[in-house]
Homo-oligomer: A and B are copies of this chain.
Amino acid sequence: MAKPSNREKILTEGLRVVHEHGFAGASVRDIVHAAGVPQGSFTNHFASKEAFGLEVLDLYASRGRAVMGATLRDEALAPLQRLRAYIDARRDRLTQTGIRNGCLYGNFLAEANEHGEAIRRRVAEIFAETREAVAACLRAAVQAGEVPGSLDCNEVAGFVVSSLQGAILVAKAEGSAAPIDRFENILFSRVLR
């Protein structure tokens, strides 16, 4: 495997630093220090801190896409099992990266007024992409007869995406994954039936 470039190190370690300290809270100095590269390297590779932020978001989203591929789009599972696997994977990922860090999308959004429109728009695009993947899974569940045909897949998918973000936010506040389990239980026992 090729050695990671300084650019890759800045992004990988930068994502971790931004996830822990927030985007405003993570200084360029902290980021290059964590990456073990000279400070000049940052300005060589990124036109601005916002440009770096967008790439960090893309890196986080590419990991999120891998999770969606392995769950929501895994045709070896029945459709509702895919959705359950997706929520479980989000919870496990959160537990691994530290519940107290929460979701990077939510964190970026909370600060969104500070670092401009481009980052807010990118987060909205990622939510829309996730919503579409959930909606496709729900349409498959309708076809498989797992949920009633009357289910409005697009609306429920939007609801799943926002409620999961909220459960992750409250999990961050409580330092416990219980809000995600609660959301999952109510989703499957009351909404998708």
Contact = CB atoms under 8 A, between A and B. Distances in A.
Contacts of A20: 113
Contacts of A168: 166
Query: How many copies, total?
Result: 2
A174 interface: yes
B24 A112 contact: no
Nearest to A178: B158
Interface string A143-179: 0000000000001101101111111111011110011
Given A24-B22, A110-B109, A162 B163 contact: yes
Contacts of A106: 106, 110, 169
Interface of A: 20-22, 24-25, 100-102, 105-114, 120, 123-124, 127, 155-156, 158-159, 161-170, 172-175, 178-179, 182-183, 185-186, 190-191
